[in-house]
Amino acid sequence: MTRLASISTLAAALMFATSAVAQVSTTPPAAQKSEPEKPAAKPKTKPHTVTKKLPAPAAEAKSTTPAPAATAPDDPNVDRVYGAYQRGQYKTAFDLATVRAQAGDPKAMTMLGELYANELGVRRDDAKAVEWYKRAADAGDREAMFALAMMRIAGRGAPADRLEAVKLLAAAAKLGEPKAAYNLALLYLDGQTLPQDLKRAAELLRLAADAGNPEAQYALATFYKEGTGVEKDLEKAVRLLQAAALADNVDAEVEYAIALYNGTGTPKNQPAAVALLRKAAHQNSPIAQNRLARVLVTGQGAPMDKIEGLKWHVIAKTSGKGDLFLDEALAQLSPEDRAKVEDAARRWLNVK
């Protein structure tokens, strides 16, 4: 498989509010070029997290309000607005937030922007969303600054203004908003809205990664693998991949699994690698499905199971991840075993 794409290629592959797998550096057990994948869309009500593509702006502003701590709804310490929001009681959240926003609460203003922007409990109204986000941002709320920046990039509620968005992202990042630091890093990486500055991009990614943002951890791992904006350090790259994988970043799961399989930047651990590949395969990663198929068909790293392995190969091919080696293995099966593979793949794909 080819080495990880260059940073210029990575920049072209990065984009707000979508996700794709970057090329990974090695592959078990034979070289094979990887291709990008698209994960399942995130639920509308999930708090907004940005992912890995640029330069296109977000088509839609997603949820920006952070989830409160998991506490019983009747706990008097729970913020009633956020409690209602988390339970999906958006009309109640809107009514409660309106009262508090009119009393000058910036967090409640941000919540109103969130509800208007995402049509939760009220009719979508981008102009009102921008109005409430701006009032909250002017009051110093970093979540609102980030949300308003994304609205400015997308041109929602007002004409697109990427320069204003940059200022908002910088202000929010300075206040410790990891999503803002991550998106600002992507703008420095892209080199269109801002002059390309890989060192500054790496600094911002580190801020977001240190705050636990898995997309930033994954992107910064790429920097360390390439030696871009930072000194090349495979061990740091693997640690970041591990952190992002623990946060269920599928791209990181795949690359961390491959690092474990090959012992690149970390002690070799093929059983752990195969377990991660299985997890990512079940999360519909075509790359993971392809790698798992090769492991199972060759028996290198796991007991040989050609039926199961070729099932994953057939599934990966539906997402465009072809593999001539596995095609040949499938062609060599008996008609009975080939039927088993096709039936298993059909059941997984829910095709009758």
Band (pLDDT 50/70/90 cuts) for residue 79 is confident
**Residue 32 or 305, more confident:** 305
Residue 101: inside a domain: no
Higher pLDDT, 52 or 183: 183
- For 67, list phi and psi in degrees, rounded to 5: -70, 135
Q: What is the pLDDT of residues 109-138, one digit of tens each?
A: 999 999 999 999 999 999 999 999 999 999
**Domain assignment of residue 310, yes or no:** yes
In a domain, 194, yes or no: no
Q: How far is CA 178 from CA 14, 101, 171, 209, in A?
A: 17, 25, 12, 8
Distance CA 333, CA 314 (A): 14
Backbone φ/ψ region at 265: left (φ over 0), alpha (ψ -120 to 50), beta:
left
pLDDT at 150: 97
Domain count within the chain:
1
264 found inside a domain: no
Q: Is residue 335 part of a domain?
A: yes
Give a yes or no: residue 282 inside a domain: yes
Query: Per residue in 206-225, pLDDT tens?
Result: 999 999 999 999 999 999 99
User: Which residues, including other chains, have CB under 8 Å from residue 285's CB and lie 6 or more apart?
Assistant: 21, 37, 39, 250, 251, 253, 254
- Residue-number span of the structural domain to which 292 is assigned: 269-352
Q: Tell me the pLDDT band of 252, cut-offs 50, 70 and 90.
A: very high
Q: Which residue has the higher pLDDT, 41 or 320?
A: 320
Residue 160 falls inside a structural domain:
no
CA distance 142 to 195: 24
Burial class (CB in 10 A: 0-12, 13-18, 19+), 115: buried
Residue 245 maps to a domain: no
Instruction: Enter the pTM of the model.
Output: 0.77
